Amino acid sequence: MMNGPCMHCGIDSTPLWRKGPNGKSILCNACGSRFKAKGNLENYLPKIALQNRILRLNIEKANDKGLKLSNKTSGGINTNTRDFKIPRKKRSPVKKLTPIERFHKTLLRLSKSEKLSNDNILLTENMNNFMPNNEIGLGCILLHKTNVTPTN
């Protein structure tokens, strides 16, 4: 009966241990199958062994930087958790404008960018003071109420 670790990838547990080349007599199931099919193990590393090596390298790098990473196993799954929490930046919710609000804003921006006579400026700036909120100009009234607020 053969026992691990695998002489090629170093994994400790596998469902079946296999014989390998003369220099590496005990191989895990993945490495042994690859050796039997291809005849060599050049540039080959099983996924599980690769994940374990990457996890070990990440822990070593974190330890070098002074961070404390832990490799905890919960439910058979390897997790890489940090012992500290990074604060997240809270963002204010973005108000999505209705099409009418966008149109109104665009018209105001265009009217301010163009050179208008004094009468037009006076009418444009004081437009919402003399009309109800649901009137959009020239006597047109919206059938549903919108939350348009005057911007000065």
Handedness of CA 96, 102, 108, 113 (dihedral sign): positive
What residue ranges of the chain have pLDDT lower than 70? 1-2, 23-24, 50-51, 65-87, 114-152
Provide the terminal-to-terminal Cα distance of the chain, rounded to the nearest Å: 86
pLDDT score, position 23: 58
pLDDT score, position 146: 58
Structural domains for the chain: 1-45 (3.30.50), 48-82 (no CATH), 91-152 (no CATH)
pLDDT score, position 75: 42
Prediction pTM value:
0.35
pLDDT score, position 78: 43
Contact call for residues 69 and 54 (beta carbons, < 8 A):
no
Contact call for residues 30 and 14 (beta carbons, < 8 A):
yes
pLDDT score, position 32: 84
